[in-house]
Chains A and B, each alone.
Chain A
Amino acid sequence: MRKLYVHPLPVRIWHWINAFGFVLLILSGVQIRYSDVFHVMSFAAAVQTHNVLGGVLIINYFVWLLFYLFTDKIRVYHPELNPAKHFRGSLRQLWYYGYGIFKGQPNPHHVSVYRKFNPLQSMTYQIVMILLVPIQFYTGVLLWDVNRFAASIQMFGGVRVVDTVHVVLFTFFIGFIFIHPYLASLGHTTLAHFKAMITGYEEVEVEDEPGRGEPR
């Protein structure tokens, strides 16, 4: 096994602020919405926490955005534009998670500096980071001051429409917050990918180095 530096420091900082931030946003969001059945903090404290964390994570998003916009690492987010390749790669990855992993087969994806995401990851992260997270932040800001943003809210059809979008996305992120760490545990050891996101170094098989036997 050798170590490959795939997660630069800004990415790691962004990732963990995001991870804990989103967990707290979810908890405070659940407290706000479900105060009849959930009692971990007062409603007022939950709103305050949610507002502050929302602001922190919006700033954090720009750390991620500016890092990738101004470095060559943006290549990890380049979508696979060839539909056949994308479909083949996704299916192969899906087959691995749904069947191959149980048979002890190796992961068809090999991590490299400019290709650290498998096709499914790549597609999911593009949708999440470029579409879902910005929409969630935007709807959150609108709800933070309904009066100030009344015109925009009216344009979308009213505060209930904005809130419904925010809640549907929250529902998605709740699923994500369980599934994402689980999938992260499917490295060559359970903690491999977690360690990589702390140290920056992914351990890869020697024969999996870039240019050697990477699936095309």
Chain B
Amino acid sequence: MTAVTRRILTVAAVATAAVLATAPFRTVHAADEGKSGPTLSAEDQTCLACHGQEGMSRTFGKGESVSLHVDGHAFAASVHGPLGCTACHSDIDLSKHPGSERSYATARAFSIAKAGVCSQCHEDKAKLFAGSIHATVLREGNLAAPVCTDCHGAHAVVKGAAEKNIPCRKCHKAIYKAYLQSPHGKALGKPGAMKAPVCADCHRAHDVSPASTSAGLRHACLRCHKDAVQAHQKWLPNTKLHLEVVSCPACHAPTSRKRVDLRLYDLTTKRDVTAKEEHVQLHGSSGIDATGGTPLDSKTLSDLLRGVDRDRAPGRITLVGRLEVRNGVEAHELTDKSKAIRNCVVCHRKGAAPFKDVTISIIGPDGRPIRYQAKPDVLHGPRSVEALSGFYAIGGTRIGVLDVLLALALLAGISAPIAHLVLRRLLRKNRATQQGTDARDK
């Protein structure tokens, strides 16, 4: 071998070795072949030198750990790829990293804290989330509630994750299972005139609120089923009232168990009464302990309402009733409309099942309803005329004392004429006899 040849071979070997050694640091392209996709900066590549390695993790108390591995390809291809690592991890000082980070008690606390950075750019969504039931539950200390990264992912962030991945099913398993059996679930992914709704279409993605505290769910159904009002008007009397008072699943999940929820409502402000307003205490103001577990009866309820009304002067408090499904899983057991309840007497009959479970509710300080059990006869006692002025299901919640009045009217109406007639007949015979005697005497 000549000296020149030896030199060429040496250069080639070194070059090859250099290429192989720097393989992890080579430019990362987008997954699409044949296209030049987004690239990561040299800074990001520095991070990935360590965080690109599989198996890298951080350990917390109780042996929990969080993977610190980042899929560089996926991150580069995601919506956050152009932002780079430091957009979210600006707190990292490379001169002291690793080793200088805050410590966290648990893996979950770490994940939740890291997700806090999202609100720096996504202020609007953070604000929506802050008012949600998820945020409320989180603030109360239930760390199982989701934060941004639980739905959107931490690095390969997905825009519109609620629609694409339906992350809700990770926690709400039973409900998702019920949903899959419904016409909505069965239509998922299938072509059709309307796109099948997923959780976020009805419950919203960020400002998720307790299902029973807003009219949002009612409007969600009607947003897609635009002809529902007209379709019901063909056969259902007082359609708009029904749609206001009866939740859609109450009829469209026909096997579900129902209850009447009577919500404290302020007629002056036209809003549900909330317990966070300082003067309102459902049990304190009238000295009645509604939390003791004893179901409220008519008298207690009337006293309670008067007490609440006094505290909120000037205002007029009443109870607005709504027929709803007892639990979330059953509320998702929707069926084809041909199987929906159309028999009026399911409700409009004395002793109907939906009226056997009655709760009184008030919106609590955290936005969730606080429920108190009530005796079913609050729906049809005489005091209900005042206390439940806004809730009445004809025939199903009729006031019992009026039945007594009707019985008396029937009795009087039938027996008075019969008695009068009988007396006339009896006395006519006597009169005929007397007239005969008088004629003979003459």
Report A's interface with B, CB cutoff 8 A: 32-36, 42-44, 47-48, 51, 97, 101-104, 143-148, 154, 157-161, 163-164, 167-168, 170-172, 174-179, 182
Contact = CB atoms under 8 A, between A and B. Distances in A.
Interface in B400-421: 402, 405-406, 409-410, 412-414, 416-417, 420-421
A165 B40 CA distance: 77
B395 A172 contact: no
Interface stretch (B113-121, B198-206, B250-258, B345-353): B345-353
A140 B410 CA distance: 22
B389 A102 contact: no
6 contacts: A36-B395, A48-B237, A103-B427, A164-B399, A167-B399, A171-B409
B270 to A, nearest CB: 11
B349 A33 contact: no
Contact of A159 (B235, B392, B413, B421): B392
Interface of A is mostly: helix
B237 A47 contact: yes
A35 B420 contact: no
Contact of B394 (A102, A163, A177): A163
Given A43-B348, A104-B431, A178-B413, A147 B241 contact: yes
Contact of A178 (B402, B414, B423): B414
Contacts of B238: 144-147
Closest 5 pairs (CB-CB, A-B) = A158-B389, A178-B413, A182-B417, A175-B413, A43-B344
A36 B380 CA distance: 15
Nearest to A178: B413
Interface of B is mostly: helix
A101 B417 CA distance: 13
Given A160-B385, A161-B385, A147 B424 contact: no
Contacts of B392: 159-160, 163
Contacts of B421: 182
B105 to A, nearest CB: 54
A97 to B, nearest CB: 8
B235 A44 contact: yes
B420 A182 contact: yes
